Structure 1
Amino acid sequence: MRRGATLVEVSQVLRHRDLATTAIYAKVDFDTLRTIAAPWPGGAR
């Protein structure tokens, strides 16, 4: 997914019948999220 694949595509490769099963394996990459996320309005600077 870091390289652009969607959760649906990953699910198809893993042959999961339910997308929720694949979602269990998808984790948030907080380090990358920090580099792309905008600061929260009115939050700490």
Structure 2
Amino acid sequence: MGRNLVGTTIKYKKIIVHLIFTQNRCFAVIIKFKTHFIEV
């Protein structure tokens, strides 16, 4: 049971890290668009 718990926590950590990375990518795109509009 202990091993299973560790496996699930690693899965959740991977999901959280993935979400954070995708959010950062979205923010980077938004910032790029904002800077583009400011330049134009």
Which structure is higher in RCO with an 8 Å CA cutoff and minimum separation 6?
A: 1
Give the TM-score normalised by the residue count of structure 2.
Answer: 0.22
Give the TM-score normalised by the residue count of structure 1.
Answer: 0.21
